[in-house]
Amino acid sequence: MYLSIKIVALCWADCIARFVMWTMMEYLTEVWKISLVHAAGIVNIFSGLVLVLQLPVQYLADTIISKYWMLLASSLAYSAGIGFLTMSTPPVLAGFVGICSEYKPECIAEGHKILFYAALGLLAFASSCFLTVALEFAKDQLEIFRNENSSLSEIELRFLQLFFYAVPIAACTAISYIKPWNLRFGVSAICTVIATLLFLSGTCTYENTEPEGSPFTSVFRVFVASTTKLFYRLPRDASELYKSNDADDSYVVQPTCGLRCLDKAAIILPNKTIEQQERNRWRLCSVTEVEETKRLLQMIPICLTFIMPGVVSSIGNAFFVEQADLLNKKVGNLKATTVILLPFYDSAQKNMANIYTWCLCCFALMGMKKYVPVVGFAVSMIVAILCCITAAMVESRRLDVARSHGLIDEPDAEIPMSLFWLLPQFLLLGWFDGIRDKSIDEFFNDQCPRSLHKYATLFSTAVTGLGVIGGVLSVYLVGIISESKGKDNWFQFTLNHSRLDNYYWVLAAFTAANLVVYIISAKLLPLRDASFELLENFLEDAS
């Protein structure tokens, strides 16, 4: 049981870091006094990097660094990152890097900014490492976990579940009521350090497996080999191309007509024997490896349509949070915080993901699984359109209420409108993210080459991360276009003077256009079926 607690403690640091970034928009606009667009850009670039970095992190874990050391680096980076974030607040180190200790822009010195951006970099690296290798590391410890659980009573199992879920949620809720930012970040740093020490205390009991190499290396080898043989002529008979002797006979891919330049990687040179050429795998690749690389390149057009939903998702932890911060947070006689909306979003996302999985298993039994991810992603974009429309209507009402009470020119004033007006758009965003994530995951699971199946989920997170980063570019471009012909920019320094409702309408229109492009791209890509693979995995997990 104690080993389980030490591994579970890793989730504390990730949960606390998520909470810290959840409040980052509020911190940047209230303390740094930077514009809404600038703050949203910082938050979205951070969130996008967390998603994009997972693919190279997985490659490093497979080729160079073991999962344990990667997870240890993640834990240390979490602790250092939140620690640097604490030191970047004006009251801390005021006599060393700053001139005053008040929460004002003039008290933010260059040293504070260096610590702040270093903290964000460390937290992005830590979060990407955790999300990539934590689950695999936990599976590696499964044997020990089962042996330990075999003697656990029902009460102890309940305690372990409570330890897993309740402790980080309770800690984040309690921290949200701490007003001074240096104390809020400081307590978060202390909790993260405790979680790291708990994980380190079980070092001698962990099973540490060494890296065994990555199948993704074959993609790089195909590009290198085809480039070195660029001026060689392809044989007329495709059977003369190299087929690996150790290839699985049940999985032999025949050469296709598209992207013939990559076929040159499988050319057997006449001046050397096959055995000699096989020793240098960067000069000779099998037909199967070439065709798998082609398959990845053929998926690029439809993958580009996965970027726009990431732009929609990016408004959740940026603009939605900023809207919530200005609304009335009273629930009866109690005053809540903006973090109260996070459980609703998480619950909506997880419930929709579970519903999607059940639907997927039902269609897999009917042999129609390959159509579910394609249709599911289209449904997610429809939900995204509804989310943007709902958000636009709620923001219009918020501006009307602020205008009617004369609060437009008071950026820090609380608007007499309940925080729970934002609940529908948070729920829709959770449903959208739940369907979208599962749809893209299953699309890559079905359509990716078999040898790269391990990276399927990481491909989906990478394109989503590109969309989140693209949200920064979309705000910049929409702002420039909106101020053409002498009109005001939709993104002003404060939220009350901005027109986020118009931006949400633009996102709804772009998502609708992206849906049309997606349908055309899906029709052009021949779908492959892996009907019962997910069903078997699901039933195995359920058992």
Domain boundaries, the chain: 2-205, 217-298, 300-542
Cβ atoms of 206 and 143 closer than 8 Å = no
- With 0-12 / 13-18 / 19 or more C-beta atoms within 10 angstroms meaning exposed / middle / buried, residue 180 is exposed
Cβ proximity of 97 and 84 under 8 Å: no
- What span, in angstroms and rounded, lies between the C-alpha atoms of 293 and 448? 10
Structure tokens at 127: 């979060």
Q: Is 66 exposed, middle or buried (0-12, 13-18, 19+ CB in 10 A)?
A: middle
d(CA 158, CA 176): 27
- Quick check: 232 and 271 in contact, CB under 8 A? no
* CA distances from residue 504 to 314, 438, 468 in whole angstroms, order as listed: 12, 24, 15
In this prediction, residue 124 carries a pLDDT of 92
Among 395, 336, 318, CA closest to 23: 318
Of 272, 263, 259, the closest CA to residue 226 belongs to: 263
> Does CATH place domain 300-542 in 1.10.10.10?
no
The enclosing H or E element of 397 equals helix 371-404
Phi, psi of 271 (to 5 degrees): -85, -5
Nearest to 291 by CA among 267, 265, 256, 243: 256
Query: Are 187 and 178 spatial neighbours (Cβ–Cβ below 8 Å)?
Result: yes
Of 213, 216, 231, 211, the closest CA to residue 289 belongs to 216
- Single out the residue of 34, 35, 74, 69 nearest to residue 54, CA to CA: 74
Three-state DSSP class for 327? strand
Q: Which of 298, 328, 506, 511 is nearest to 407 (CA)?
A: 328
Per-residue pLDDT tens digits of the chain, which is 543 residues long: 455 566 666 777 778 888 888 788 888 888 888 887 888 889 889 989 999 999 999 888 888 888 888 888 888 999 999 999 999 888 887 767 667 878 888 888 888 899 999 999 999 999 998 888 877 777 666 555 555 555 555 555 555 555 555 666 666 677 777 888 888 888 888 888 888 888 888 777 777 777 878 888 888 899 998 898 888 888 877 777 888 755 454 455 666 777 788 888 888 888 777 777 777 888 888 888 888 888 888 888 888 888 998 899 888 877 888 888 888 888 777 777 777 888 888 888 888 888 887 877 777 666 666 677 888 888 899 999 999 999 999 999 999 998 998 888 887 788 888 888 889 999 999 999 888 888 888 888 877 887 788 888 888 888 888 988 988 889 889 988 988 877 888 888 888 888 899 999 999 999 999 999 988 888 777 665 543 344 444 444 444
Q: How far apart are CA 77 and CA 413, in angstroms?
A: 37
Residue whose C-alpha is closest to residue 357's, from 132, 537, 229? 537
Please tell me the predicted confidence (pLDDT) of residue 184: 86
Q: What is the 3-state secondary structure (H, E, C) of 11-47?
A: HHHHHHHHHHHHCHHHHHHHHHCCCHHHHHHHHHHHH
Give the pLDDT of residue 364: 67
Nearest-angstrom CA–CA distance, 402 and 408: 6
> What are the residues whose beta carbons fall under 8 Å from the beta carbon of 40, sequence distance 6 or more?
25, 318, 319, 322, 471, 472, 475
| Residue 453 per-residue DSSP state | G
Residue with tokens 């997880």: 350
What dotted CATH number matches 2-205? Answer: 1.20.1250.20
Question: What 3-state DSSP class applies to 360?
Answer: helix
pLDDT for position 366? 67
